[in-house]
Structure formats: structure tokens, C-alpha cells
């Protein structure tokens, strides 16, 4: 066993370790996976050793930071998980307004680090999401209409490639790789270890927007969707909102709006008038620091949950009939579901000022991202809930286009085209150039051929037998969940 691990450095966790069962699990607990090794890398050398080790022993790699991928693509059965979450140093160059981070940092770590110095940051809503995964998939956040997507602020990165070597990428150095990592980088080209961001101008305070509508009916949800799409047409780019119609065990049918406005609360009230005038609106519009705002937004997330979901991009105005069809999607919850919802993430503003081909993020001109989700608690209801999403997917797909790689869905047909549109061909070329042996893979990766060197053989849900073809130490290893 020790011989088998020879060459790996970092903090190693294997299935016989007590912590294994905890640390092998990710945010979406509906997906249970059993890697053979989790390597918590502490520096670039550990990452390079892990990449070389995996090639020597033919063990597939997964790259993980925050573990928030909806489909668990940063993890996998019988894989080596290269976990960068312990590489989380941050450095601020105040003179040049540049932030350099190791790739293991989370939204919360970045927010806390820079907002004490007065800067906002175009990060995401969930504090425990990894900034690397977020940025490399594009990065939608509650500042994006004003500050752009997360990937738009990226200036430079360093990754460990398939040979264990460090490769730099920026607009002038390996510009093709840099382009690819602005929207299609997660898990595809190498292990990103360092990222440099240009910071936006400092702000003293922002306006946090929270509007709730409880105990509504389907007709009110239709009116809300109509208001949303009308409002977004010529909304002030200084405001970014997420809105949601939902049906939960706690609230029944309800709706909400959350957002950040880079300006005064009085102006925000004027801008939000169409929402505030809707029947039953209860709201808080608060002028607070950026850190307070993102902390309040982030506090609504549980530490983990079980869910299934699909995302699409909206590039048209829906007619009444289409709105009614969309609202119908969430009128009934599947058995065991405690929450179903349709969320809308506003785009436009700074997001659409960047050209479609300037970064790998393809859907620049969309009005918003729409995301259908169901959450359940007991694992016996998983199949009903997954079926609920897959049955609704064709309806949603018929009026929308593409999918957001940061909100992936494992049943997408033609997933590369769905995620990357006409950028697929260029991305495949970049993949071949920087990862010619397809060392960095996952089920919806750009290399599109999974090397199944090991075949997991499932028994009952709570037990599994892992056959590993590369090393005797793990042959016939039997893992029983604690």
C-alpha cells in the first residue's frame, strides 16, 4: 500500500482513513462517489506530483476545490481527487488593484480579504463555492451586470499541465488557453493553481435588495414572470437581480427577488417599483457594506443538500402561453421533494458588452439564465425527483437555449454544444494542444472520451466493491459506508 502511494505528496486520505467518508462527499449529497485517493495539495509541487503519479498508475484524475459541482464532476469513483482547497493564500497589490489568489480560495475568503480594503468583487452568491470553479465556468454573480462575469476580471492564471509542469496563461501568453479558461476551464486543461484578478473601483456601500411574496397562486407567479421580463429589458446596469418562483413544503407557492444595486437605496426603490407594486411584496432595501450584503445573501445556503436541476439561457420574450407553461412546471412537487423552483439570473449590462468570441463563455447575449430545481431530503425519493426534472427538461428546452456549465445537467444530449455553442471546435483544438493525452477528464469534459481504467462494480446502495486494474493493493477492496 505504501509503495502504491509512493510519489504522492500533500495530505493523503484513503478509504481506510476515518475522515474518508466525510471528505469524499460534496455539496450535492444526492451524488455519492468513492475516489480511491483524495490528495489535499498544499503547493504546486504536490499538484505536479499528483498529476505524474496518476499517469504512472493510470488512475483518472478529478480536480476539486469547493466541491459544489451540481453533478459531482470534481469527484468520481476509483479516481484520484486532486483537492486544492488547502491552497488558499491571497495577495493584494493595492497600487495596481490586482488580487492574486491560490486556486483553493472560496467566495467567502475572497470577500473577507478584499472588502476590508474597500473593494467589491464579482464573485458568486454561495460563500463556500470555490472561486476557481466559479470563474472558469464564467461566473455569474450579483454584481455581474455592473462588474461583468467573474472570468471577465481574470488577468492571468497558472496551471499544472499533463506533464506536471507549470503553464502560465494571460491575454499575451498562451492566449488561447487563457481564452478557454474564461468559461470552459473547469477540469478540462490542467489543475489551475494561481489566478490573478483585476479589482473593480472601491465602494463604501451598496444597496441590498430582498423582496418576498408568500402564499401566492399560479396567476400571481405568471404576473411576476411577466414583470421580470419587462423589467429586465431596460434595467439599470448598476443593479443585478436573481428572482425565483417556487413551491416549498414550508411556504407553498411563493416568489422572491434578491439583488445588489451599486447606488443609493432611494434610487433602488424607484428602479424596483414594478416589483414593489406587485401584490403582497414584503421588502428590505438596505444600504450596507459590500461584505455585509454578500454575507446576508450567503447566509441562506445550507452546508449541503440533495438536489437535481437543469439550467438554460433565455434569449427571447415569453408570450402569455409560454409563461403559463413555465409556471405549470413547478405547481406540483414530486414525491419527497421539499422545494421546487424556477430561478432567473439576470444578465445583460456589462456581461453583454464583452463580445461572444472574446471569451469561451458563449451565451453573452442572453437576457438571463433560467434554472429548474428540485430538492429532497430522503434518498429513497431520488429517482422520482430526477424523473421530475427530466420530464420537464424538454418543455424548458423548447423555449430556451444552451446550458450554463456552472449549473451542469448530466442528461444533456450534445452537452458540448449546449455549454459552449459554436466555441466547441476551438475548445477541442485547445484541449488537444494543452492536454494531448486527455489526462484531465470528467463525464462532460471537452476531451469527450472517459478513460475507464477502472470499473466500479456496485452492490447495494450502502456497499460497493471496487475493482482496480492498476494495482494489487486495491484489487477486490471492499468499502462499507460508515
Ligand X SMILES: Cc1cc2nc3c(=O)[nH]c(=O)nc-3n(C[C@H](O)[C@H](O)[C@H](O)COP(=O)(O)OP(=O)(O)OC[C@H]3O[C@@H](n4cnc5c(N)ncnc54)[C@H](O)[C@@H]3O)c2cc1C
Question: Given the rule CB under 6 A, which residues bind ligand X?
Answer: 27, 62-69, 73-74, 84, 103, 124-126, 129-130, 132-134, 136-137, 139-141, 186-187, 191-192, 301, 406, 442
State in angstroms the smallest separation of the CB of 405 from ligand X.
8
**Residue 106 contacts residue 66 (beta carbons within 8 Å):** yes
State in angstroms the smallest separation of the CB of 239 from ligand X.
16
Residue 326 grid cell: 413555465
State in angstroms the smallest separation of the CB of 459 from ligand X.
27
Question: Kind and range of the H or E element at 464?
Answer: strand 463-467
CA distance 214 to 208: 20
Does residue 179 sit in helix, strand or coil?
helix
Nearer to ligand X, 140 or 388 (CB): 140
Strand partners, 99: 92, 197
State in angstroms the smallest separation of the CB of 38 from ligand X.
12
Identify the DSSP state of 421: G
**Residue 466 contacts residue 456 (beta carbons within 8 Å):** yes
Nearer to ligand X, 216 or 412 (CB): 412
Cα of first residue to Cα of last residue in the chain, in angstroms, is 22
Nearer to ligand X, 8 or 242 (CB): 242
Nearer to ligand X, 66 or 200 (CB): 66
Place of cell 484541449: 431
CA distance 463 to 482: 10
Nearer to ligand X, 120 or 141 (CB): 141
Nearer to ligand X, 327 or 340 (CB): 340
- Nearest by Cα to 178 from 143, 149, 135: 135
With the C-alpha atoms ordered 44, 106, 410, 154, is the resulting torsion angle positive or negative? negative
CA distance 20 to 15: 5
Nearer to ligand X, 32 or 65 (CB): 65
Identify the DSSP state of 340: E
Which ranges of 137-200 does DSSP label H, i.e. alpha helix? 144-147, 175-181
- Name the maximum alpha-carbon separation found in the chain: 68
Sheet holding 80-83: strands in order across?
A: 11-13, 37-40, 80-83, 61-64
State in angstroms the smallest separation of the CB of 73 from ligand X.
4
State in angstroms the smallest separation of the CB of 35 from ligand X.
12
State in angstroms the smallest separation of the CB of 273 from ligand X.
26
Nearer to ligand X, 327 or 431 (CB): 431
The string over 228-255, giving b where at least 16 C-beta atoms fall within 10 Å of a residue's C-beta and e elsewhere, is: bbebbeebbbbbbbbbbbbbbeebebbb
Nearer to ligand X, 27 or 275 (CB): 27
State in angstroms the smallest separation of the CB of 215 from ligand X.
26
Which ranges of 200-305 does DSSP label H, i.e. alpha helix? 218-233, 265-271, 273-276, 290-298
- Spatial neighbors of 39 by CB under 8 A, at least 6 apart, are 8, 10, 11, 12, 13, 46, 50, 80, 81, 82, 83
State in angstroms the smallest separation of the CB of 406 from ligand X.
4
Nearer to ligand X, 15 or 141 (CB): 141
State in angstroms the smallest separation of the CB of 437 from ligand X.
17
- Nearest by Cα to 268 from 206, 327, 224: 206
Nearer to ligand X, 327 or 346 (CB): 346
Nearer to ligand X, 144 or 216 (CB): 144
State in angstroms the smallest separation of the CB of 436 from ligand X.
17
Sheet holding 368-376: strands in order across?
A: 282-288, 206-213, 252-261, 239-248, 337-346, 368-376, 306-314
State in angstroms the smallest separation of the CB of 134 from ligand X.
4
Q: What angle do CA 293, 294, 296 make, to 5 degrees?
A: 65
Amino acid at each position: 500500500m505504501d509503495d502504491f502511494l509512493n510519489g504522492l505528496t500533500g495530505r493523503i486520505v484513503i478509504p481506510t482513513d476515518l475522515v474518508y467518508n466525510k471528505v469524499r462527499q460534496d455539496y450535492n449529497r444526492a451524488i455519492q462517489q468513492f475516489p480511491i485517493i483524495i490528495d489535499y495539495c498544499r503547493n504546486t509541487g504536490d499538484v505536479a506530483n499528483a498529476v505524474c503519479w496518476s499517469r504512472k498508475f493510470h488512475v483518472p484524475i478529478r480536480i476539486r476545490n469547493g466541491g459544489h459541482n451540481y453533478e459531482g464532476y470534481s469527484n468520481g469513483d476509483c479516481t484520484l481527487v486532486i483537492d486544492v482547497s488547502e491552497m488558499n493564500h491571497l495577495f493584494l497589490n493595492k497600487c495596481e488593484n490586482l488580487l492574486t489568489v491560490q486556486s483553493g480560495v472560496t467566495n467567502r475568503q475572497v470577500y473577507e480579504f478584499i472588502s476590508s480594503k474597500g473593494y467589491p468583487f464579482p464573485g458568486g452568491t454561495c460563500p463556500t463555492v470555490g472561486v476557481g470553479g466559479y470563474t472558469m465556468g464564467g461566473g455569474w454573480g450579483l454584481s455581474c451586470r455592473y462588474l461583468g462575469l467573474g472570468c471577465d476580471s481574470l488577468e492571468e492564471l497558472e496551471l499544472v499541465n499533463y506533464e506536471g509542469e507549470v503553464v502560465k496563461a494571460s491575454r499575451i501568453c498562451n492566449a488561447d488557453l487563457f481564452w478557454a479558461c474564461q468559461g470552459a476551464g473547469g477540469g478540462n486543461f490542467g489543475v489551475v493553481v494561481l489566478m490573478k484578478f483585476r479589482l473593480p473601483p472601491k465602494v463604501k456601500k451598496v444597496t441590498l435588495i430582498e423582496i418576498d411574496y408568500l402564499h401566492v397562486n399560479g396567476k400571481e407567479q405568471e404576473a411576476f414572470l411577466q414583470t421580470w421580463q419587462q423589467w429586465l429589458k431596460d434595467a439599470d446596469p448598476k443593479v443585478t437581480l436573481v428572482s425565483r418562483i417556487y413551491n416549498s413544503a414550508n411556504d407553498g407557492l411563493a416568489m422572491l427577488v434578491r439583488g445588489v444595486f451599486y447606488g443609493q437605496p432611494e434610487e433602488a426603490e424607484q428602479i424596483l417599483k414594478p416589483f414593489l407594486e406587485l401584490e403582497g411584496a414584503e421588502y428590505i432595501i438596505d444600504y450596507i457594506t459590500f461584505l455585509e450584503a454578500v454575507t446576508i445573501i450567503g447566509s441562506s445556503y445550507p452546508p449541503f443538500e440533495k438536489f437535481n436541476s437543469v439550467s438554460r439561457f433565455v434569449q427571447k420574450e415569453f408570450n402569455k402561453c409560454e409563461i403559463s407553461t413555465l409556471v405549470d412546471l413547478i405547481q406540483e412537487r414530486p414525491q419527497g421533494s421539499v422545494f421546487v423552483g424556477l430561478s432567473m439570473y439576470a444578465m445583460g449590462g456589462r456581461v453583454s458588452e464583452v463580445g461572444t468570441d472574446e471569451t469561451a463563455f458563449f451565451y453573452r447575449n442572453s437576457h438571463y439564465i433560467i434554472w429548474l430545481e428540485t430538492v429532497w431530503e430522503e434518498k429513497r425519493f431520488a429517482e422520482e425527483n430526477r424523473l421530475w426534472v427530466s420530464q420537464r427538461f424538454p418543455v424548458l428546452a423548447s423555449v430556451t437555449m444552451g446550458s450554463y456549465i456552472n449549473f451542469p445537467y448530466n442528461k444533456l444530449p450534445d452537452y458540448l454544444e449546449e455549454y459552449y455553442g459554436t466555441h466547441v471546435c476551438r475548445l477541442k483544438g485547445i484541449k488537444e494542444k494543452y492536454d494531448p493525452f486527455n489526462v484531465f477528464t470528467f463525464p462532460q469534459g471537452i476531451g469527450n472520451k472517459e478513460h475507464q481504467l477502472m470499473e466500479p462494480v456496485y452492490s447495494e446502495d450502502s456497499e460497493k466493491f471496487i475493482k482496480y486494474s492498476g494495482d494489487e493493493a486495491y484489487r477486490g477492496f471492499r468499502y462499507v459506508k460508515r
